[in-house]
Structure 1
Amino acid sequence: MVKTNVIKAAEIVHIPAPPAPYFLECGYAVYNAGDQHPNRSNIGVFDLLFIESGTMYIGEEDRQWELGPGKSLLLLPDRYHYAVKPCEDRCTFYWLHFHTICSWQETPSEIPAAFQPEEHSRTFKTSPYTIQLPKMWTLPYPAQTYQLMDRLRQYSAERQSSAYWSQQQSFEELLRMMDLRQLEQTTSPVVTLAEQTEAYIRNNYRSELTSQSFSEALHFHYNYITRCMKQIYGMTPNDYLLHYRLEQAKLLLLKTEWPVAEIAKEVGFRNAPYFSNRFTLKNGCSPQQFRKQYSR
């Protein structure tokens, strides 16, 4: 008897974007009775499997699965993958390799991953959206998934200059279909409130925001809002507000010739010296120096 870990919405692999994961290659395989998945270690790419028919017996480190039709499994780049035992009947499946340059995390489904917008924005000037892919899953729309995979395989016969864009577009469509954050019934209330708080800040960052205004707008006590934000974004609402205001100030310093005091007021700071101080602490240079660094 093969041990099978029963997972509801499985462990979740969290991948921040931008930059989005990118497609590498895919294929379709047929295993007859007695065939088995190859044993591999640290292959350096994500290996996504979609079982069409039959059953595959596969493991990763100390985990083992019995995958039937309509099941998907995401094997991780830095783990040992192996066949638990050969197939007992004919098994057909699709496979897809993709990669990301971001640091990803795997967590139990009930524990959201916390990424740091502050660290991420040093490169991308934004807070990341976190794609949440299930480790092992029962596909809600298997036929649609198989059609997407067939489309991806067909593009490989085209010229690279056109195939590249078509493949990336279809791959992102596949990721969107699998992203648990697109499925409201699987989204954690903590994630939902944190995202609502983020949206509220982005839409109102020019105004004076207080703990009371957060509570009134989001209909939760400010302490609970803070816990959710820290769990998902690693920041309190006020920390995120400061972070977002300073990022908007950077854009205005580059796009306009406005005086620093006017920019400070535009992004929600009532005190220009305080704005300059916070900007310097975060970026290692004053607003004037930042503007000059990118000016001719």
Structure 2
Amino acid sequence: MDSPILHFITPPIPYFIDCGRAYYEAGEYHISRSDIGVFDLIVVTRGSLAISENGTEWLLKQGEALILKPDGHHYGSAACKAETEMIWIHFQTYGSWRESANMDECLANQAELIETHKVSAYLNHCDVCSIFIPKHIHIVTKDMELLEHFSQLDQEPQSMRNWKRQATFQQFMQHLDLGLSSLSDVAAIRIAEKIELYIRHNYPLPISNPLLQKELNYHPNYLARSMLKVYGMTPMEYLLHYRIEQAKKLLLQTAWSVARIAEEIGFNHVSYFSSCFSKKEGISPSNFRSKFTNRENKPTHSERIP
């Protein structure tokens, strides 16, 4: 079957908790569990394993993996027909996540999930992005080598073992994320990333659709479609979004005036900046600063706060 996709918003990146191996004799079942509180990545290294999650059945063969949700009911749907071995990895995330049927659904819900993330993860002034991990995975040789590395780390002292396991897990997840992106709409993703990088590097400057067309050599309509598909907003909407995110950082990290911040991030008029900020955040720039800073101890100089 086509695999659903687990959509994570980061930072923070999903983090490693524990790992191990499990063995089944012919005739044995995977254990039945509900709401275990962590994601359970299981990788079959020998034999096959029949497992269900909330009524959906999967038959995992050697070299296949499945990510089980922390709030689901998991159970063996059939007995193993032969000796079976698997690697399991428990991980969790502090931020927002959602399981979607396909990439189009992920991208359609991306903006909503990001806004939820900023509230639940208390990242209201942080630049966030998405990680897409297939639920059902065919493990390639390079990724299997990373998984086998977890066992080798058992020989390390505990203090070093935990650091190295976390690093190995993140590398493994990065491979899965990049692998899924390469199978999706590659052209749209690459163009959107070029637009995003251009805006990040040049956001204080006057940026327009004609300028992006000149710089990237694509028609504005194609640029807009690519950004909508990947980021859920047009280039000009993303430019405004990014400028407001930078403004939030400057409001919290400097004692600059609102007028100076508006100028620094590319607004010609402070009144227009305040209007855009209030419309997007539901609060004025000054009130946003007051909400998160101690006004009694606020410095009077105009330099950046360390």
The TM-score normalised by the length of structure 1 is 0.84
Change (3 A) 1:107 1:215: farther
Correspondence list, 1:114-125, <5 A: 114=107, 115-116=110-111, 117-118=114-115, 120-121=117-118, 123-124=122-123, 125=125
2:249 is matched with 251
Note if contact 2:96-2:117 (Cα within 8 Å) is conserved in structure 1.
no
Note if contact 2:154-2:161 (Cα within 8 Å) is conserved in structure 1.
no
2:303 is matched with none
The structure 2 residue matched to 1:208, chosen from 200, 206, 209, is 206
Change (3 A) 1:211 1:69: same
Tell me the distance in 2 between the aligned counterparts of 1:182 and 1:207. Answer: 35
The structure 2 residue matched to 1:74, chosen from 55, 58, 67, is 67
Name the Cα RMSD after superposition. 2.6
Note if contact 1:50-1:71 (Cα within 8 Å) is conserved in structure 2.
yes
Q: Deviations over 1:263-285 (max 9, x none)?
A: 22221111122112222333444
2:96 is matched with 103
Change (3 A) 1:108 1:273: same
Tell me the distance in 1 between the aligned counterparts of 2:287 and 2:103. Answer: 45
Note if contact 2:96-2:116 (Cα within 8 Å) is conserved in structure 1.
no
Say whether residues 1:185 and 2:178 are aligned partners. Answer: no
One-letter amino acid of the structure 2 residue matched with residue 47 of structure 1: D
Correspondence list, 1:54-69, <5 A: 54-69=47-62
SS state of the match for residue 86, structure 1?
A: coil
Runs of at least 5 residues in structure 1 that lack an aligned partner in the other structure: none
**For this pair of structures, how many residues does the alignment match?**
285
Tell me the distance in 1 between the aligned counterparts of 2:80 and 2:288. Answer: 61
Note if contact 2:15-2:91 (Cα within 8 Å) is conserved in structure 1.
yes
Q: Deviations over 1:31-64 (max 9, x none)?
A: 1111111122333321101111111122223432
Note if contact 1:49-1:73 (Cα within 8 Å) is conserved in structure 2.
yes
Q: Identity, % of aligned pairs?
A: 37
Query: Shift of residue 184 of structure 1?
Result: 6.0
2:150 is matched with 149
SS state of the match for residue 220, structure 1?
A: coil
Correspondence list, 1:214-253, <5 A: 214-253=212-251
Say whether residues 1:128 and 2:121 are aligned partners. Answer: no
1:196 is matched with 194
SS state of the match for residue 111, structure 1?
A: helix
1:266 is matched with 264
Change (3 A) 1:236 1:281: same
Runs of at least 5 residues in structure 2 that lack an aligned partner in the other structure: 298-306
